[in-house]
Amino acid sequence: MHKRILRACYLLGLLSLAACARSGPARVDTGFGRGPQVLGHAGSGFFTPISPFNALPPSSLGGIRHALDRGADGVEIDLQLSQDSVPMLFHDEDLTNRTAAQGYVSQHPAAELTRLRYTGGWPYDWLQHERVATLDELLTELATRPTFPYLHLDLHEHDDANFAQPYVRSPALIRAIARVLRRHHVPPARLLILTQYEPSLRQLRREIPGAALGLEITDQFEERLAQAAAAQVEAVVLSKYVITPERVAQAHAKGLQVVVFGGRSRKAIQRLLNCRPDGIEVDNVPQLLSLLGRRGRPAEAAPQAHAGAPKAGPLR
């Protein structure tokens, strides 16, 4: 009798191993509940030929739609101010690389900018027909979705068209964004507003009350982290080249949540996950969702906090 029981246990063990082998590679265990908030970086990222192939321009309406339709919780988008003070969705510093126009967003009126088609060369232009869009257009479209997505608004305040005073139009950009957000009744709890320019934080707090603020850090981590803590922002936004597990822990210890931007390959995204951030603005939404075991669905609720993370903030 005892031997029969042992044989049965042995057979059950073999069957369990076989089932695991058939199911493929083990899903990544991030160690903190549902994992970080998933956001499309500039919508669906940038023109890329492989891993994954992406023919949609950064911060285009099609790229944003693509990321959300594949299950992202939200998107990060880049905002610049047109000549006539309209917030525009556009990533690059100048128009030359992505369109047939010359100069900067700040040198053209919105009506002219919205007629510009994105250009990415072969083969992308066979597959995309996107044009430059306004923040107003985006919010009008997002209002038709069943659930309003999370938005990370990345303010491109440095204006190379004004070399002597590159930040002179920052106050106008913030006021214009605030007007559009109010007109569309965007819930502040769905917003994280990002800036590299620390002096803008006070105006952002006044113009867009209730919205979470984040300071972007691409270098000088210790100095910038101290600035973020002193300014009492809710989050720091780190480049993939800056983030480490130790730096995330430092930010959490100061009561700050951590967002990281970048990551396209499975290996690169796994490294970011291992740093245990609270949100990832990723260039490959399906790959990140696969690693989190979410299978292309937005999270039904806000992600659960992991040990050491602040208990409240824009990603909770």
**Domain harbouring 139, CATH code:** 3.20.20.190
Which residue range forms the structural domain that includes residue 230? 33-291
241: tokens are 């080249």
Categorize the per-residue pLDDT at 310 as very low, low, confident or very high, splitting at 50, 70 and 90: confident
Which pLDDT belongs to residue 74?
A: 98
120 inside domain: yes
Q: Render the burial of 261-286: b for 16+ CB within 10 Å, e for the rest.
A: bbbbebebbebbbebbbbbbbbbbbb
Look at residue 58 in the predicted model and tell me its pLDDT.
Answer: 97
Task: Summarize the confidence of residues 177-203 as an average pLDDT.
Answer: 98
Q: Is residue 297 part of a domain?
A: no
pLDDT of residue 122: 92
In a domain, 125, yes or no: yes
Distance CA 33, CA 35 (A): 5
Mean pLDDT for the chain? 88
Q: Percent of the chain, pLDDT > 70?
A: 83
267 found inside a domain: yes
**How many domains does the chain contain in total?**
1
**CB contact at 8 A, 259 and 278:** yes
pTM score of the predicted model: 0.86
Q: Which of 28-32, 265-269, 305-309 has the lowest mean pLDDT?
A: 28-32
Residue 19 lies in a domain: no
Determine, yes or no, domain membership for 42.
Answer: yes
Task: Return the amino acid letter for 316.
Answer: R
120, 47 in Cβ contact below 8 A?
Answer: yes
